[in-house]
Structure 1
Amino acid sequence: MAEDGRVPLRWVWITLGLVVASSVWFLVWVTTGAGPVAIAYVAVPLGGVVAVAALYDLWRAVRGNRLARQFWGRLLVGAASMTVGYVLMAVNAFRFSVGGYTPSMPISAAAAVGLGFALAMWAVARVPVGTSGTGQRRRMYLDRTIAFLGCATLLWHFGMAPMLTADERWAPQTLVLIGLAFVLSIAGITKVAYLGEGPVDRTALRLVAAMSLTAAGVAVLAATYGNAGGPPSQAVVLPLAPLMLVLAVRVQSNAFAGVRRSPRSNSSLLPYLAVAAVDLPLVAVATGHLRWPGRVVILAAVAVSVLVIIRQFLAFRDNSRLLGALRTKEERLQHEVSHDGLTGLANRAWFRDRLQSALASGSGATVLLVDLDDFKAVNDSLGHDVGDELLVSLAGLLREVTGDDGMPVRIGGDEFAVLLAGGTTVGETVAQRILDALTQPISAHRLMVQASIGIATAAPEATLDSVLREADVAMYAAKQRGKAAYVRYLPGMAEPVLAHMRLGGELRRALDAGEFHVVYQPVMALETGVIIGVEALVRWQHPERGLVPPVEFIPAAERTGLIVELGRFVLRETCRQTAAWLAEFGPDALQKPGVNVSARQLHDPGFVADVMAALGDHGLTPDRLVLELTESAALRGGQISRTLHELDRLGVKLALDDFGTGESSLSLLRAFPVAIVKLDKSFVDGIEVDDANPAARDARQAVARAVIQMAGALGLDAVAEGIENEAQAARLRELGYTLGQGYLLARPMPAAEMTKLLAAQRSAVAAG
């Protein structure tokens, strides 16, 4: 046997070679008369030996299938018995043939061949058919009887009857063997049409039946040429029988190896084919010695039956097309139910079903949850069509990267998963492949995207929900660690991650309960200490946890999308309070109230309208408001760019916060309508130190000097952030900075304290 479980192809080539060689010998012998006629009897026993060897190989390979082993075992014994009979016949031919004359088959050879046919018939009879129910079995038996009689009539008229009525009498053993072969072929042909998906392949059984049909060729030659038909029968026709048998073995072994599937049954056509088979002898009789009235009757009956067959064939074809269309539609619906319509990947339902099956079988499974980072920004800035193209491209990337290690699926939105069989190490390998692939632009728009990946491997006691929960926790942990990373779930990881996830729910409650408030940090003139503006900062006073740091709740607000509503609250509250201060202290009391905005807010289609509504509701002009955004937010694409330019046209001032920390700070000043730059605190820290690290000090001073010079050249205001001592303030004044912000000047304070500060400033101005 071959390593893949299939019967070696060499048996087919050997028997085919015997058929060709024997046919060539016969042509030479007919034309030249060279060699003894007994050579015609060699190919059949040699082919029988090869067929027996092939059957033995197959019989050994199907030990796990009792019914198949029984069928092919009986056929093996039958083929061996036939081979013995043909060996005896060949020996007899070499002993007693004279010139072109060959002796009759010995009784011993006929008995062996007859036993082989009987065993083959028994094997075919024992093959189970795919029927169920009394009514279905009755129809099957009726159809098979019709088919048997139709085929038997055809073979009788053109095969057996000419031999029985010939002037030359044939040996009884020859007639019996041909009759048995006819019965075997008819039984196989009628049975294969009803054979279901079972232990014996339908095509293989057809080939077994075709093996027996060689008897029809022998009968025709015998009826036509008498004893002279013996050599062509033995040399040309009968060697086809071992070849058909070896082909059947090969087909069956391929089916066991999963190489091919058996074709569908055509049992519905079998009775009509049998009627057509009976029509052939009727036409032959009608064209014989009957008187013309009888011929008319027979020919009319044949014509009617042919028309009925055509009518049934057309109905059968239409029904087959209808069934095919229904089957195709059913397959399409099944595919749609289990696959995602956009990406073509399997969907959540398929994923849960396969994961559940893997857990139930005990084979284990590893799950990767893959979530695109900041995908909403792509939809908001470039449009949903571009977002969809990105998802399709990511699906193709997952297919390619995963390969044979697992199956990628789309869970929903921008979340994907990869189901891996067993193993705890392959998860990291596949996750790293995904991250490496995402270092290059994808989709037709050449977008650079990142993903966070959570990995969880099912423990022996794991459930479907527990595995998915662990993968989800690991994925959120990856996002908390800076995104564009993978994290494997470890025991104890759930609590901090779930606490962070629960924070989103608490944010919603806090917004509804009014737990957020705004504090204000002044922006002052460094020379005079006059308040020029304020930066509005949001604070959360939790009823149980106390003051929650912004570094903790702002990322949660970004992740959940609540930053839009939270930012709207800060904007409106700042506008309300600014209007109150201006009304109390005059229009010059506060020139630049600033509100921080995030990229998520700028992506919101209604953001500009919210800004204008907040200003209008409190009687403020757009030039009274400063919107502060980070450099990273400004680099987020077309939607943000359009929003910023629209705000600038309306008169709202824009400030770049944390300026100097990004990779494209200078280019942003050309690309966006910026009015204010705020030097990042990292360049202010240590700017005054003379001895600790002179190189670092000089670098900070160089950046600070470059920023103030650039701002002056472009007509921008420059604000130094994070001033914490007088030495820093003095050094910044030397460099040319006039505006600053930091704990040295004033800490963030509630509106009431800010009101007192403004009142004190008014008093000081009045006294001066």
Structure 2
Amino acid sequence: MRRYVVTNALICLAGTVWYLLWLTAAPGPVVLGYLFMPAAMGVGGLAVHALRRAVPLAPAGRRFWLLLEICCYLFAAGFGVLAVDAVRTAPELPAMPPLGAALIGAGVLVAMWGVAQVPLGVSSWYERGKQWLDRTIAFLGCATVLWHFGISPMFWAPEPWTPSALAVLLLACLFAAGSVTKVSYIAGGPVDRRAMRLVASTGLIAAAVALLAVLGGYHGILPGQAVCMPVSGLLIALGARRQLSAATKPRSVGKGNVWLPYLAVLAVDVPVADVLIRPWHWAPGIWEGRLVVLAAVVVTALVALRQYVVYRENTRLLREKQESEARLRHEATHDPLTGLANRALFRCRLDRALETGPATVLLADLDEFKTVNDSLGHDAGDGLLVAFAQLLRAAAGPGAEVARLAGDEFAVLLTGDATGEELAGRIAAATAVPISDQRLLVKFSAGLATAPPGTPASAVLRQADAALYAAKERGRGNWLRYADGMERPASAHARLGGDLRRALDEGEFRIVYQPIVSLDDGGIVGVEALVRWEHPDRGLVSPADFIPAAERTGLIVPLGRWVLRETCRQAAAWLAEFGPDVLEKAAPNVSVRQLHDPDFVADVAAALADSGLPPHRLVLELTESAVLRGQHVSRVLHELHDMGVRLALDDFGTGESSLSLLRAFPAAIVKLDKSFVDGIELDEPDTPAAHARQAVARAVAQLADALGLETVAEGIENQVQADRLLRLGYHVGQGYHLGRPMPPERLTEIFAARRVRAAA
């Protein structure tokens, strides 16, 4: 692209040098001055052609540069015809021949069409209309100046110009005004904005030629042809080079010029001042003054319209800003889902209420809300929260403040003598029927606390929270009023959660293994991994205490991941030391929180890969409540089954859907719950209790056998139970009679002794 730019620069330089020499030494015939313009436009057309071949362009950009190339060739042909006519009229300067004027006019029209087709990146009708208004103002201002100082003097000149020359110059001035106003609003897109400005500057060259012709008359024509016009070809070549550079090195998108309409208003004032100062513009038969004043009036009217549009837009923006600020203030103090006050606003209003009198706070949350979320999905959970919020509003009445503090936790503020028990009763009555679009029957738990004036809001909320915790400890659907000492269990529970995090970091957890035993010969066929916490101050903490806290805080996920990896490692170590017959399965327990962890399947795969334990020797024990948790859990369980990991359904027989689960759940092992084993050896065969207990145990064994599943009887505490279960069809059992949970070192000793006996 550089060679086309250099060539056109040399053509412009040659034209300037020739004209300077012509003024002093007359070097050659005058026709030479008419050759520079067609040569420059021809080179400009070749530059555009090279650009279109060099880089792929967007359709709009490709169309623009094609039309510009055609324009260059039409200009070259038209000015070539003028140069040929200059040979015929030498030594006089030629008038514009009709054919040349037609070609040049066609070139101007093609260029105008190409510029008009360039998109401005405005999509909305409002923005497009506003931009058209701005461009019309700018166009009229620019066109008025060009008309008054460029074209109009040619009309009223003593020696009138030929119609073809006037038509060409008029089109050139229109192109100048239109292209300048168009490119001022191009922010970027398929045509580079700087390249477009270079091309549009060729219109200003035409305006400069017209001004030279007006000011210089006969002597102004030749410098326009030899010096000014060839610059158009140079500008086009520079524009093509700029477009090529932009295609290989994209630039940031700029902004359109918003100042152009105001500049146009100032520009139109110059012709108005001129027609007012020079009275010949108002002479009879000369309508120049009237036309300029009319243009100024139209521009002024359009500017007034533009200011009205801007005023309307500013008013709209101000209104939207005020609405946005109001919305942000509301969102900062209200819950977006239910529309209730949030925790910050509730505490503020509680503080204000306690400044003037006593206040009662009722804290309530939905029982088993997490089950709704996990089984029916978050949309159903959100619908339940909205329905419960509406229920609370209706039950609390207009004088109470209702808030959603977090999750499924709500609060109601009552002032004056209201104690809250009546409100709790109304809420209980309202939740006695199904609510929400899913028609769900839910229960709620609540804690009540009343404080005298001057009590800090945090203290009242803490008391209500302690009462809520105590109510939930009693079971579903309870509410309690705060009493001294209620916060101690809650605070101990909270401290337990903090201790769990520290225990995980400091390695205070241990794994013990309870043997799973063959009832036929008493041999160990597997182990269940059970986690124990050796607290440095409290000693051995019961799993019944810390597992619920781990579930509540989410720490069950990293704890379960550690148990899984350690179980796989220990089982693989036993297999490596004692051979493949030492152990058929190692079974850690899995919680529902782990099943919802998106990395759980990857954690199982990593534990197996790192330890080298075969997948079929790993058994994951799950409760029925964990399995009934929706599509995500079902997908996870099938992925584990496809990996070769076996799944055991723990506590089987205690749920309502246990039998139907066996059809959808990819179980390999069914573990009969301890409740069906307890006392089975004490029942007389003919008593109803014995018949029912043994019938369930026998049915589970037969059903599992029909489905090809293994069975394990849990909670065996004496040999009589073991014998009776064996007769009922159970060949594998687990319980304190068969083996208590023990550290891995003790099991290693048992496996070693068994190997010695086998060798003997």
- Shorter chain as denominator, the TM-score bin is 0.5 to 0.7
| Residue-by-residue CA offset, 1:608-652 (whole Å, 9 max, x unaligned) | 111111111111222111111111222222222222122112211
* Native 8 Å contact 2:569 2:613 kept in 1: no
Query: 1:340/1:669 Cα in 2 relative to 1: closer, same or farther (>3 Å)?
Result: same
* Native 8 Å contact 2:335 2:342 kept in 1: yes
* Native 8 Å contact 1:382 1:639 kept in 2: no
Query: 1:534/1:574 Cα in 2 relative to 1: closer, same or farther (>3 Å)?
Result: same
**CA drift at 1:400:** 3.1
| Alignment correspondent of 1:505 | 498
Identity score, percent: 65
* Native 8 Å contact 1:656 1:674 kept in 2: yes
Aligned amino acid, residue 356 of structure 2 = S
* Native 8 Å contact 2:518 2:524 kept in 1: yes
Aligned-partner Cα distance in 1 for 2:313–2:595 = 61
| Alignment correspondent of 2:410 | 416
* Native 8 Å contact 2:354 2:452 kept in 1: no
**CA drift at 1:322:** 8.8
Query: 1:728/1:421 Cα in 2 relative to 1: closer, same or farther (>3 Å)?
Result: same
Aligned-partner Cα distance in 1 for 2:738–2:605 = 31
Aligned-partner Cα distance in 1 for 2:531–2:509 = 7
Structure 1 unaligned blocks of 5 or more: 1-313
**CA drift at 1:753:** 0.4
For 1:225-374, what aligned pairs fall within 5 Å after superposition?
328=323, 331-362=326-357, 364-373=358-367
| Alignment correspondent of 2:736 | 743
Aligned amino acid, residue 671 of structure 2 = K
Aligned amino acid, residue 337 of structure 1 = A
Aligned-partner Cα distance in 2 for 1:730–1:598 = 32
| Alignment correspondent of 2:677 | 684
| Alignment correspondent of 2:578 | 585
Aligned amino acid, residue 333 of structure 2 = S
| Residue-by-residue CA offset, 1:370-400 (whole Å, 9 max, x unaligned) | 2344545555665555544443333233223
RMSD over equivalenced CA pairs, Å: 2.9
* Native 8 Å contact 1:530 1:761 kept in 2: no
Aligned-partner Cα distance in 2 for 1:378–1:641 = 16
| Alignment correspondent of 2:451 | 458
> Secondary structure of the equivalent of 1:719?
strand
Query: 1:428/1:697 Cα in 2 relative to 1: closer, same or farther (>3 Å)?
Result: farther
For 1:488-637, what aligned pairs fall within 5 Å after superposition?
488-637=481-630
User: Given the two structures, how large is their TM-score scaled by the length of structure 2?
Assistant: 0.56
Query: 1:317/1:525 Cα in 2 relative to 1: closer, same or farther (>3 Å)?
Result: closer
* Native 8 Å contact 2:375 2:628 kept in 1: no
| Alignment correspondent of 2:163 | none
Aligned-partner Cα distance in 2 for 1:414–1:456 = 19
Alignment size in residue pairs: 453
* Native 8 Å contact 1:377 1:603 kept in 2: no
| Alignment correspondent of 2:238 | none
Aligned-partner Cα distance in 2 for 1:315–1:683 = 82
User: Given the two structures, how large is their TM-score scaled by the length of structure 1?
Assistant: 0.55
| Alignment correspondent of 1:127 | none
Query: 1:356/1:593 Cα in 2 relative to 1: closer, same or farther (>3 Å)?
Result: same
Aligned amino acid, residue 507 of structure 2 = G
| Alignment correspondent of 1:474 | 467
Aligned amino acid, residue 620 of structure 2 = L
Aligned-partner Cα distance in 2 for 1:315–1:661 = 73
**CA drift at 1:329:** 5.2
| Residue-by-residue CA offset, 1:590-621 (whole Å, 9 max, x unaligned) | 11111111111111121111111111111122
Aligned amino acid, residue 421 of structure 1 = T
Aligned-partner Cα distance in 1 for 2:549–2:311 = 65
| Residue-by-residue CA offset, 1:319-356 (whole Å, 9 max, x unaligned) | 99998777655544443332222221111222111111
* Native 8 Å contact 2:355 2:454 kept in 1: no
Structure 2 unaligned blocks of 5 or more: 1-308
* Native 8 Å contact 1:435 1:485 kept in 2: no
Query: 1:493/1:424 Cα in 2 relative to 1: closer, same or farther (>3 Å)?
Result: farther
For 1:13-412, what aligned pairs fall within 5 Å after superposition?
328=323, 331-362=326-357, 364-373=358-367, 375-376=369-370, 384-404=378-398, 406-412=400-406
Aligned-partner Cα distance in 1 for 2:549–2:686 = 38
Query: 1:496/1:525 Cα in 2 relative to 1: closer, same or farther (>3 Å)?
Result: same
Name whichever of 480-489 and 734-743 sits farther off: 480-489
Query: 1:521/1:404 Cα in 2 relative to 1: closer, same or farther (>3 Å)?
Result: same
**CA drift at 1:668:** 1.1
Query: 1:513/1:483 Cα in 2 relative to 1: closer, same or farther (>3 Å)?
Result: farther
For 1:645-664, what aligned pairs fall within 5 Å after superposition?
645-664=638-657
**CA drift at 1:740:** 0.4
Aligned-partner Cα distance in 2 for 1:464–1:751 = 52
Name whichever of 440-449 and 505-514 sits farther off: 440-449
Aligned-partner Cα distance in 1 for 2:704–2:590 = 22
